[in-house]
Amino acid sequence: MATEQPNMVLVFPDQMRGSALGFLDEEPVLTPNLDRFAEQSLVLPHAVANYPVCSPYRAMLMTGKYPHSNHVIGNCNSRTAPYGVELREGECCWSDVLKNNDYNLGYIGKWHLDAPHAPYIDCANNRGELKWNEWCTPQRRHGFDFWYAYGTYDYHTRPMYWRTDAGRGGFHYVDQWGPEHEADLAIAYIQNDGGAYRHADQPFALVASMNPPHMPYELVPERYVKRYRHLTLDDLCQRPNIPPVGTRWGDYYRTHIRNYYAMITGVDEQFGRILQAIDDAGLAEDTIVLFTSDHGNCLGIHDRISKNNPYEESMRVPFLIRWPGQIPARQDDLLFSTVDITPTLLDLMGLGREVPAEVQGASYAQLFLGGEM
| Average pLDDT over the chain, rounded to an integer | 97
Burial label for 82, CB within 10 Å (0-12, 13-18, 19+), is exposed
pLDDT of 372 > 80? The answer is no
Q: Where are the alpha helices (DSSP H) in the chain?
A: 32-39, 54-63, 67-70, 94-99, 178-191, 222-225, 233-236, 248-280, 312-315, 341-348, 365-368
* Averaged pLDDT, 138-166: 98
Give percent of the chain above pLDDT 70. 99
Residue pLDDT, tens place only, 37-48: 999 999 999 999
pLDDT at 28: 97
Burial label for 81, CB within 10 Å (0-12, 13-18, 19+), is middle
Distance of CA 219 to the CA centre of its chain: 18
SS3 305: coil
Strand partners, 264: none
Residue pLDDT, tens place only, 267-282: 999 999 999 999 999 9
Angle between helices 248-280 and 32-39 (to 10 degrees): 60
pLDDT of 371 > 90? The answer is no
Burial label for 76, CB within 10 Å (0-12, 13-18, 19+), is buried
pLDDT of 113 > 50? The answer is yes
- 46 in Cβ contact with 335 (< 8 Å): yes
For 86-100, what is the HEC assignment?
CCCCCCCCHHHHHHC
pLDDT of 325 > 80? The answer is yes
Give percent of the chain above pLDDT 90. 98
pLDDT of 109 > 80? The answer is yes
pLDDT at 284: 97
pLDDT of 187 > 60? The answer is yes
pLDDT at 2: 44
**pTM score above 0.95:** yes
Residue pLDDT, tens place only, 54-86: 999 999 999 999 999 999 999 999 999 999 999
Residue 227 backbone phi and psi in degrees, to 5? -70, -10
pLDDT at 1: 38
* Averaged pLDDT, 287-299: 98
Return the higher-pLDDT residue of 2 and 261.
261
> 238: part of which helix (H) or strand (E)?
none
Q: How many C-alpha atoms does 222 have within 13 Å on its Cβ side?
A: 0
